[in-house]
Structure 1
Amino acid sequence: MTNGPRTVLLGATGYLGAITARALVERGLTPILAGRDGHRLSQLAGELGGLDFQIADARDRGSLTALISPGDVVISTITPFRAVGEEVVRAAVTRRAHYLDVAPEPPWVRTVFQKWGRPAREAGVVVMPSVGFSFSPGNIAGAAALQEAGPEATRVQVAYFVLGDFEQDSFGAGVLESVTGALFEPGLVRRDGIIDTEMPGRRERTYTIDGLERRAISVGGPEHFTLAQFQPRVLDVDVFIGWLQVDSKGRSLLPKSATSTARLSPGRAMTKFRHRRMVRDAAEGPDSVGRTGMVSMVVAEAMDPAGNTLSRVTLTGPNPYDLTARLLAWHAIAVPNCGPAAAGATGPVNAFGLTSAIEGARQAGLERVD
Structure 2
Amino acid sequence: MTDGARTVLLGANGYLGRVTARALVERGIFPVLAGRNGGELSQLATELGGLDFRIADAADRSSLAALISPGDVVISTIAPFRTAGESVVRAAVTRRAHYLDVAIEPPFIQQVFQKWGRPAREAGVVVMPSVGFSFSPGSIAGAAALQEAGPQATKVQIGYFVLGDFEQGSFSAGVLDSITGALFQPGLVRRGGVVESEMPGLRERSYTIDGVERIATSIGGPEHFTLAQFQPRVRDVDVYIGWLRPDPNGQSLLPKSATGGARLSIGRALTKRKHRQMVRAADDGPDSLGRTAMVSMVIAEAQDAGGNTLARVTLTGPNPYDLTARLLAHHAAAVPNCEPTIAGAIGPVSAFGLSTAIEAARQAGLERVD
TM class by shorter-chain length?
over 0.9
CA distance in 2, matches of 1:358, 1:269: 41
Residue matched to 2:188: 188
Closer, same or farther: CA 247–173 of 1 in aligned 2, 3 Å: farther
Percent identical:
79
Q: CA deviation at 1:254?
A: 2.8
- Within 1, Cα distance between the matches of 2:251 and 2:279? 13
- Partner deviation per Cα, 1:315-367 (whole Å, 9 max, x = no partner): 11100000000000000000011111211110000000001101111111111
How far, CA to CA, are the matches of 1:161 and 1:27 in structure 2? Answer: 27
- Determine the structure 1 residue equivalent to 2:9: 9
How far residue 130 of structure 1 moved from its aligned partner, in angstroms, is: 0.3
- SS of the residue corresponding to residue 258 of structure 1 reads coil
On the 8 A contact 2:120/2:127 being kept in 1, the answer is: yes
Q: Who is 1:220 aligned against?
A: 220
For the residue of structure 2 that corresponds to 1:266, the secondary structure is: helix
> Distance between the aligned counterparts of 2:227 and 2:5, measured in 1?
28
Q: Which residue of 1 aligns with 2:146?
A: 146
* Correspondence 1:91-130 to 2 at 5 A: 91-130=91-130
**Contact 1:2/1:28 (8 A) holds in 2:** no
TM (norm. structure 1) is 0.97
Pairwise CA distance, 1:275: 1.6
CA contact (8 A) 1:126 1:343 kept: yes
Taking the aligned partners of 2:90 and 2:278, their CA distance within structure 1 comes to 31
Indicate if the aligned counterparts of 1:245 and 1:254 stay in contact, CA closer than 8 A: no
Q: C-alpha distance in 2, partners of 1:150/1:273?
A: 45
Q: Tell me the equivalent position of 1:328.
A: 328
Shift of 1:276: 1.2
Question: What is the correspondence of 1:25-40 to structure 2 with a 5 Å cutoff?
Answer: 25-40=25-40
Say which SS state the counterpart of residue 163 (structure 1) adopts: strand
Task: Answer yes or no: is the 8 Å Cα contact 2:230–2:349 preserved in 1.
Answer: yes
Indicate conservation of the 8 Å contact 1:246/1:253, yes or no.
Answer: no
In 2: Cα distance, 1:314 partner to 1:357 partner: 15
AA in 2 matched with 1:87? S
1:244 CA drift (Å)? 4.7
**Counterpart residue identity of residue 93, structure 1:** V
Q: How many Å separate the matches in 2 of 1:311 and 1:7?
A: 37
Q: Give the aligned partner of residue 349 of structure 1.
A: 349
Aligned to 2:243, the other structure's residue is in SS state: coil
2:208 matched residue in structure 1: 208
TM-fit CA distance, 1:179: 1.1
TM-score computed with the length of structure 2 as normaliser? 0.97
State the alpha-carbon separation in 1 of the partners of residues 307 and 285 from structure 2. 39
Q: CA RMSD in A?
A: 1.7
Aligned to 1:295: 295
Aligned residue for 1:146, secondary structure, equals: helix
CA distance in 2, matches of 1:342, 1:260: 43
Partners of 2:82 and 2:108 within 8 A in 1: yes
Q: Distance in 1 between matches of 2:302 and 2:125?
A: 30
Which residue identity is paired with 1:165? Answer: D
Shift of 1:56: 0.1
Structure 2: gaps spanning 5 or more residues: none
Structure 1 portions without partners, runs of 5+: none
State the partner residue of 1:276: 276
- CA–CA separation in structure 1 for the residues paired with 2:10 and 2:233: 37
Aligned residue pairs: how many?
369
Q: Secondary structure at the match of 1:8?
A: strand
Instruction: Please tell me whether the aligned partners of residues 201 and 219 of structure 2 are also in contact (alpha carbons under 8 angstroms).
Output: yes
**Paired residues of 2:164 and 2:246 also in contact (CA < 8 A):** no
Offset at residue 277 of structure 1 (A): 1.2
**Counterpart-to-counterpart distance in 1, 2:247 and 2:280:** 17
C-alpha contact 2:189 2:196 (8 A) present in aligned 1: yes
> Relative to 1, partners in 2 of residues 1:251 and 1:316: Cα closer, same or farther, differing over 3 Å?
closer
CA distance in structure 2 between the aligned counterparts of 1:2 and 1:119, rounded to whole angstroms: 22
Paired with 1:58 and 1:180, the residues of 2 have a C-alpha distance of: 21
Partner residue of 2:66? 66
Q: Report the AA paired with residue 295 of structure 1.
A: V
Identify which range, 275-284 or 227-236, moves more after superposition.
275-284
Query: 1:245 offset after TM fit, Å?
Result: 4.8
Write the letter of the residue equivalent to 1:153.
Answer: A
